[in-house]
């Protein structure tokens, strides 16, 4: 099955779509359905943690009924240009309350990867509607099927039969490997040199106040990774994070991870985002005295508090620029995860007639937590110095309804998995007070989230 041909936002086929909702009595494992289905169709998995009054959801999308791809935000062709299509979905036949569109984008959609083919299977920015959506919410499981007005809905039994007939683990047709033939021997040298350059330029007319440099690592095993087990391990270890997996077509690598960072969410006419920057050092267990001491040090670290405040100021300034009135606490709290803890400041603002979820994605991404400040100078330096295409790493990923409600996350603690190999990504925020070797060690802590899940996949 070839990948669906993208459609642009101007395409009005959305007005011809109908939606049929069907309650399911079967106790299906959605991670296993994702793993089996990616061998024959586009497949996406997303587990949303509970968010305020909004309950958590677990989603699997199969196939593609409609897709829009977009250019660079700087050319005014960002996610906000899809608003007209969302209005068309809302006027489609059938109940659209439970319809979900999947959204994702590269960290830098305008980046020219040259000979780097790592991310060739993925669009640089896309919003798409699956043909079949499976959703678990409040222990209830149901399906939403999208179909054209001249066609009957695809029967659930047919989809499940295809899933059951698929191999497990999925063994899609072989393609050029995105994780193979990568020489990472100079990764530490390049990363620490980039950090040292920022530190050396402190006190001069340096173009950036803060920058986030990333690095890569590889993992492999003797047989194909079983992604349903990887997803299960991430869900178990990072229950407060959003777990995601995206396979754009059979034979493509799968982008998978569990991120603690929400870019922006929209519920009940309110936007919520967060500043998440500043990280504990050391690998202490989450409930240990050592972790508590590390968190106390983090709260009193001038370097980390400055790094965090840069993110807060950029986010609130961007919201104000678009007419929103953000509210937040002056003092950050602690976000404790299995492997590390972060400084966190929740930020809220009211949705307006001209500034909703799609506009907020375009306005806020990339935040200084994954890019730097000033944003454009940091993005240019990353493209020049990092030495590889970040692709979807540190980009927006999530799901939303046609009504404009949903949760969009920043794709962190993640990597590309392809057959028996994986390519992992992690970064660190660099300021004038950074130590190159301390920052390199911090990336190891962040890589451990996915590395441990890939290792757990080997267990029976």
Tell me, yes or no, whether 328 lies in a domain. Answer: yes
Tell me, yes or no, whether 3 lies in a domain. Answer: no
Tell me, yes or no, whether 99 lies in a domain. Answer: yes
Token pair, residue 124, equals: 């640089």
Residue 8 reports pLDDT greater than 50: no
Percent of the chain with pLDDT over 70: 87
Tell me, yes or no, whether 5 lies in a domain. Answer: no
User: How many CB atoms lie under 10 A from the CB of residue 177?
Assistant: 17
At residue 97, the pLDDT reads 82
At residue 139, the pLDDT reads 84
How many domains, in total, are found in the chain? Answer: 1
The whole-number average pLDDT for the span 235-255 is 95
At residue 297, the pLDDT reads 94
Percent of the chain with pLDDT over 90: 63
| 286, 449 Cβ separation under 8 angstroms | no
What's the CA angle centered on 144, arms 266 and 239, to 5 degrees?
A: 50
What's the rounded Cα separation, in Å, for the pair 420 and 223? Answer: 5
What's the rounded Cα separation, in Å, for the pair 438 and 430? Answer: 11
Question: What confidence tier does 359 reach under pLDDT thresholds 50, 70, 90?
Answer: very high
At residue 151, the pLDDT reads 57
State the chain's mean pLDDT as an integer.
87
Beta-ladder partners of 247: 43
Among residues 67, 210, 405, 457, the one annotated as catalytic is: 210
**402 vs 177, which has greater pLDDT?**
402
Residue 111 reports pLDDT greater than 80: yes
295 is catalytic: no
Tell me, yes or no, whether 53 lies in a domain. Answer: yes
Closest to 402 (Cα-Cα) out of 133, 139, 185, 3: 133
User: Lowest-pLDDT range, 38-52, 85-99, 207-221, 274-288?
Assistant: 85-99
At residue 410, the pLDDT reads 97
At residue 174, the pLDDT reads 55
At residue 281, the pLDDT reads 81
The whole-number average pLDDT for the span 74-78 is 59
Closest to 130 (Cα-Cα) out of 10, 247, 49: 247
At residue 167, the pLDDT reads 67
Residue 152 reports pLDDT greater than 60: no
- End-to-end, the C-alpha distance of the chain in Å comes to 32
3-class secondary-structure state, position 266: strand
Residue indicated by tokens 């919410």:
137
Phi/psi at 363 (5° precision) = -75, -40
261 is catalytic: yes
Tell me, yes or no, whether 248 lies in a domain. Answer: yes
CA atoms within 13 A on the CB side of 289: 0
Residue indicated by tokens 């659930």:
156
173-182: per-residue pLDDT in tens?
555 556 656 7
Residue 5 reports pLDDT greater than 50: no
Whether cis (ω within 30° of 0) applies to the bond prior to 374 is yes
**18 vs 131, which has greater pLDDT?**
131
What's the rounded Cα separation, in Å, for the pair 308 and 446? Answer: 17
User: How many CB atoms lie under 10 A from the CB of residue 19?
Assistant: 22
Tell me, yes or no, whether 410 lies in a domain. Answer: yes
Residue 157 reports pLDDT greater than 50: yes
Closest to 382 (Cα-Cα) out of 215, 240, 217: 215
Question: What confidence tier does 73 reach under pLDDT thresholds 50, 70, 90?
Answer: very low
Domain that holds residue 411: 13-456
Question: What confidence tier does 1 reach under pLDDT thresholds 50, 70, 90?
Answer: very low
What's the rounded Cα separation, in Å, for the pair 54 and 243? Answer: 17
Tell me, yes or no, whether 6 lies in a domain. Answer: no
Closest to 227 (Cα-Cα) out of 409, 457, 2, 456: 457
Among residues 57, 187, 209, 261, the one annotated as catalytic is: 261
- Distances in whole angstroms, Cα of residue 443 to Cα of each of 44, 97, 259, 292, 339: 27, 40, 14, 20, 11
Which H or E run includes 4?
A: none
What's the rounded Cα separation, in Å, for the pair 278 and 296? Answer: 12
180-195: per-residue pLDDT in tens?
567 898 999 999 999 9
| pTM of structure | 0.91
β-pairing, 125-129 vs 132-137, is unpaired
CATH, residue 257: 3.60.120.10
């Amino acid at each position: 099955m070839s990948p669906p041909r993208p459609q642009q936002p101007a395409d009005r086929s959305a007005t011809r779509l109908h939606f049929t909702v069907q309650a399911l009595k079967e106790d299906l494992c959605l991670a296993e359905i994702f793993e089996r289905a990616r061998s024959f169709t586009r497949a996406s998995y997303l587990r949303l943690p509970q968010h305020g009054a909004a309950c958590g959801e677990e989603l699997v999308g199969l196939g593609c009924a409609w897709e829009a791809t977009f250019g660079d935000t700087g050319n005014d062709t960002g996610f906000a240009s899809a608003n007209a299509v969302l209005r068309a979905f809302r006027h489609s036949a059938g109940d659209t309350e439970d319809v979900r569109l999947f959204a994702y984008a590269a960290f830098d959609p305008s980046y020219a990867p040259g000979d780097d083919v790592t991310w060739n299977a993925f669009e640089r920015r896309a919003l798409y509607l699956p043909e079949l959506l499976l959703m678990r919410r409040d222990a209830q499981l149901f399906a939403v099927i999208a179909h054209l007005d001249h066609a009957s809905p695809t029967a659930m039994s047919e989809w499940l039969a295809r899933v059951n007939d698929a191999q497990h683990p999925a063994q899609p047709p072989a393609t050029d490997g995105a994780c193979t033939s990568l020489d990472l021997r100079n990764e530490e040298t390049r990363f620490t040199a980039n950090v040292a350059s920022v530190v050396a330029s402190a006190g001069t007319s340096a173009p950036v106040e803060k920058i986030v440099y990333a690095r890569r690592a590889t993992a492999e095993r003797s047989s194909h990774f079983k992604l349903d087990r990887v997803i299960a391990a991430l869900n178990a270890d990072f229950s407060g994070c959003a777990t995601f997996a995206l396979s754009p077509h059979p034979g493509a690598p799968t982008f998978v991870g569990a991120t603690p960072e929400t870019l922006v969410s929209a519920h009940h006419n309110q936007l919520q985002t967060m500043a998440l920057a500043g990280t504990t050092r050391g690998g202490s267990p989450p409930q240990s005295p050592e972790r508590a001491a590390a968190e106390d040090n983090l709260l009193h670290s001038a370097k980390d508090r400055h790094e965090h405040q840069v993110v807060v100021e950029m986010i609130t300034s961007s919201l104000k620029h678009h007419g929103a009135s953000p509210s937040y606490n002056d003092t950050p709290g602690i976000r404790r995860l299995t492997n590390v803890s972060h400084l966190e400041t929740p930020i809220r603002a009211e949705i307006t007639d001209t500034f909703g979820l799609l506009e907020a994605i375009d306005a806020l991404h990339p935040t200084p937590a994954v890019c730097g400040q000033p944003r454009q100078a940091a993005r240019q330096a990353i493209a020049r110095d990092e030495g590889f295409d970040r692709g979807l790493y540190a980009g927006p990923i999530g799901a939303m309804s046609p009504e404009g409600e949903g949760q969009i996350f920043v794709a962190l603690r993640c990597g590309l998995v392809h057959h028996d190999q994986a390519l992992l990504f992690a970064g660190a925020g660099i300021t004038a007070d950074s130590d190159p070797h301390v920052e390199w060690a911090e990336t190891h802590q962040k890589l451990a989230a996915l590395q441990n899940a890939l290792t757990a996949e080997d267990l029976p």
